[in-house]
Amino acid sequence: MASTLPPPIRLITRQTGGYRIHTFISAYTGNNIADATHIIEGPTSLVLIDGQFLKDYARQFREYADEVTEQTGKPIDRLYLTHRHPDHWFGLGTAFKDVRIYALPETIDFLKEHGQEQICDHNSKLGEQAPSEVVIPQYSVIIPPNDPQILEQSIDGLRYVFTMVKETEIDFHMIIGLPDLQVCIVQDLIYSGNHLYLTAPEDMANWVRFLETMLLSDYDLFLAGHGQPADKIEVARNVEYLLAAQVAIADGLRGDYFKQYMLRRYPERLCPAIFDIYLPRLFDGASSY
């Protein structure tokens, strides 16, 4: 059955040295927040990043990957789930049950404990777009406690550098660097062209520190979890947004006053639906999932 949702955007984000990166972005309109998921196409297989939110987009993202497989003969090798927010894993049960899924142990534990509860919380809002089941990632990405705390692996001839970033947009977020392509998969640590999902001021301060390391890195393309792939100018704009939000909160702005201030200050940013998701959590102590 054809989807009644607006069509997604599909694009080839980078193509170099026998590798191609594909990005799939769900709608920007209505309650949608331009969820972006990605395919790293190597010489022999595909690696997927995150699983989309709504059922129809999860299916369409899977169809996109299957099309690439059909055209190139390269199967899906695995999928990385970067963090536990529902807009990144709800689609897994719909379209990626048969795929090997990897995540941080903290993300896996959370889904085991609260995944079903998260689905119940969203059922009434999402209706038929809600997932019917929780899929728990079967493989842990364990970052050794070295200095720096990274795990480097070669997949299909490409270096993948895994880092865990703590207490920013979320408590635990996996970042995947692809230094050979100068690409960093940062997902929700950049909201590209969109309003950001804001967290407590101390977490926003950690978030800014992380983005500053990205600004000084050799990466030149950042795959965002919402919106289009970003350059360093957009990373710097995210830093500025986070700093402005911290000042506004320190000045006493709360709730709808805060939202109106940010909308006036950033009229060019898209997906204002995000305010209604995080404002009750940031200012009114609502549950964080």
Cβ nearer to Zn ion, comparing 85 with 122: 85
CA 161/CA 183 separation, integer angstroms: 11
Cβ nearer to Zn ion, comparing 93 with 225: 225
In the complex, minimum distance from the CB of residue 84 to Zn ion, in angstroms, rounded to a whole number: 10
> Strand 158-166's sheet: what is its strand order?
150-155, 158-166, 172-178, 183-192, 221-227
Cβ nearer to Zn ion, comparing 158 with 196: 196
CA 167/CA 15 separation, integer angstroms: 33
In sequence order, which residues have a C-beta less than 8 Å from that of residue 240 and are 6 or more positions away? none
41-100 binders of Zn ion (CB under 5 A): 85, 87
CA 219/CA 177 separation, integer angstroms: 8
Q: Is 169 in the site for Zn ion (CB under 5 A)?
A: no
In this structure, are strands 150-155 and 139-140 parallel, antiparallel, or unpaired? unpaired
In the complex, minimum distance from the CB of residue 149 to Zn ion, in angstroms, rounded to a whole number: 23
Q: How many residues bind Zn ion (CB under 5 A)?
A: 4
CA 64/CA 9 separation, integer angstroms: 11
Cβ nearer to Zn ion, comparing 41 with 188: 188
Q: What is the DSSP secondary-structure string of 220-288?
A: -EEEEEEES-B-HHHHHHHHHHHHHHHHHHHTT--HHHHHHHHHHH-TT-B-THHHHHHHHHHHS----
Cβ nearer to Zn ion, comparing 74 with 226: 226
In the complex, minimum distance from the CB of residue 187 to Zn ion, in angstroms, rounded to a whole number: 7
Is residue 152 helix, strand or coil? strand
In the complex, minimum distance from the CB of residue 245 to Zn ion, in angstroms, rounded to a whole number: 17
In the complex, minimum distance from the CB of residue 225 to Zn ion, in angstroms, rounded to a whole number: 4
In the complex, minimum distance from the CB of residue 71 to Zn ion, in angstroms, rounded to a whole number: 29
Q: Is 225 in the site for Zn ion (CB under 5 A)?
A: yes
Tokens of 99: 């795929």
CA 86/CA 51 separation, integer angstroms: 10
Cβ nearer to Zn ion, comparing 158 with 188: 188
> Residue 183: which of 219, 156, 159, 208 has the closest Cα?
219
Q: Is 188 in the site for Zn ion (CB under 5 A)?
A: yes
In the complex, minimum distance from the CB of residue 41 to Zn ion, in angstroms, rounded to a whole number: 23
Cβ nearer to Zn ion, comparing 56 with 87: 87
Q: Given the rule CB under 5 A, which of 46-54, 133-141, 224-232, 236-244 is the region that contacts Zn ion?
A: 224-232
Binding site for Zn ion (CB under 5 A): 85, 87, 188, 225
